[in-house]
Amino acid sequence: MSAAGFLLSLLLASPGTEPREMEAALQALSEADFEAALSRVEAGLRQTRDETQIARLRLIQGEVHAALRQYAQMETAFAQALEADPDAHLDPERVQPTVVTLFESLRSRLQGVLTVDVEPSRAELHLDGRQLGQAPWQGSVPIGTHTLDVGPGLTTLQVKVRPGRTEQVRVVLPSPAPVSASFVSTLAFSAQVRAALGLAPLSGAGMEAGARLSGTYVFGELNATVGSQFGAAARVGAQAPRLIGPLTFFLSLDGYALGGPALFGGGLSAGASLSLSRKFDVFAELSGRWLPSSDTYRSTHLLGVSGLRLTPGR
């Protein structure tokens, strides 16, 4: 290759070549010279491999086809722009609002697949503040850059999801602290508002305190009760970790101490809770109690309980 030819190849490959083609394409578009605009876009696409620049050129290409009312070609160009850069956007101050609306409508329809693997597994996952469930997790999500929270409070990542592609994320969490320190750090206090339907004594206001140990929630609870006689009920039990998506299905083995008169017994509770936010859960459960025979309480109680749980420390 001659020296002149080598110098020409360097100039064609230089980073400044493609932006000049983009400026020329925009100028031709503003002058309604659509053929020249498309030619400049194609020239720019041949000269760059930068995904951000490719996306910008494809957006101009889509604008040209929109001006020509070639809507199928417009959508193809916009889809190619979002494939190169799922965060690409049109300038609403320069582009007609109808074209911007069509572009954003296309963006909302495009999906990608996100796969999250966490070691150790079963960590809670939130995407843009919305609860996904527990790791490992896989599902379709809108394209673009999202904030992935693993924890809560363990780590935060930015993940970019492209249309029709699978974005794989693997997170290795630090080793857990010693048991004594872990117990203190995971101590979680919660308060419940409970409403019960069933046999007396009915559950009224309740307070709960608990700690999460190795994924198992261990709790203690004190309830004021109403019935033929006023009394208090204490309950201790263990709740399994989350199982399916945002729902927590739990089964707890309960111990009871009721006042007025003092009676001790056991019980079994099963139910589910749905997370409304990081601090609030709505729950419903069915509880069975077995107590000694008494003039005040029957030996067997079946209670349907629902309510709202607040966990400030979560």
Q: Which CATH number goes with the domain that contains 152?
A: 2.60.40.1120
| Domain edge (last residue) among 71, 88, 109 | 109
Domain assignment of residue 83, given as a range: 3-109
Q: What's the one-letter identity of residue 36?
A: A
**What pLDDT, on a 0 to 100 scale, did the predictor assign at position 236?**
64
Which two tokens mark 121? Answer: 């597994």
**Distance separating alpha carbons of residues 27 and 35, to the nearest angstrom:** 12
Asked whether residue 98 falls in the same domain as residue 117, the answer is no
Which two tokens mark 299? Answer: 């030996």
| Domain edge (last residue) among 143, 172, 201 | 172
Which two tokens mark 28? Answer: 């031709």
Tens place of pLDDT per residue across the chain (314 aa)? 444 443 334 334 444 445 788 899 899 989 999 999 999 999 999 998 999 999 999 999 999 999 999 999 999 999 999 999 999 999 998 899 999 999 999 999 999 999 999 988 888 999 998 999 889 999 999 999 999 999 877 889 999 999 999 999 999 887 665 544 444 444 555 555 555 444 444 445 455 555 555 455 566 665 555 554 445 556 666 665 555 556 676 667 666 666 556 667 777 777 777 777 767 777 777 777 676 666 555 566 666 666 666 665 55
Q: Nearest Cα to 239, choosing from 266, 271, 207?
A: 271
**Distance separating alpha carbons of residues 19 and 225, to the nearest angstrom:** 74
Give this prediction's pTM: 0.52
CA dist 127 → 113, 114, 139, 147, 199 (Å): 13, 10, 12, 6, 42
In the chain, how many domains are there? 3
Identify any residues that bridge with 306 across adjacent strands, giving them in sequence order.
Answer: 195, 284
Asked whether residue 256 falls in the same domain as residue 155, the answer is no
Strands 247-258 and 231-239: antiparallel
SS3 93: coil
Asked whether residue 240 falls in the same domain as residue 269, the answer is yes
Residue 79, H or E segment: helix 71-84
Asked whether residue 160 falls in the same domain as residue 268, the answer is no
**Distance separating alpha carbons of residues 166 and 143, to the nearest angstrom:** 11
Dihedral sign computed on CA atoms, order 259, 261, 264, 270: negative
Q: Nearest Cα to 221, choosing from 268, 184, 254, 270?
A: 254
Cβ neighbours for 181, distance < 8 A, ≥ 6 positions apart: none
**Distance separating alpha carbons of residues 200 and 283, to the nearest angstrom:** 21
**What pLDDT, on a 0 to 100 scale, did the predictor assign at position 20?**
87
Asked whether residue 76 falls in the same domain as residue 189, the answer is no
Identify any residues that bridge with 232 across adjacent strands, giving them in sequence order.
Answer: 224
Asked whether residue 58 falls in the same domain as residue 105, the answer is yes
Residue 152: is the preceding peptide bond cis (ω within 30°)? yes
| Domain edge (last residue) among 60, 78, 109 | 109
Asked whether residue 259 falls in the same domain as residue 283, the answer is yes
**Distance separating alpha carbons of residues 251 and 82, to the nearest angstrom:** 46
What CATH number did the domain enclosing 236 receive? Answer: 2.40.160.20
Asked whether residue 199 falls in the same domain as residue 293, the answer is yes
Q: What's the one-letter identity of residue 78?
A: F
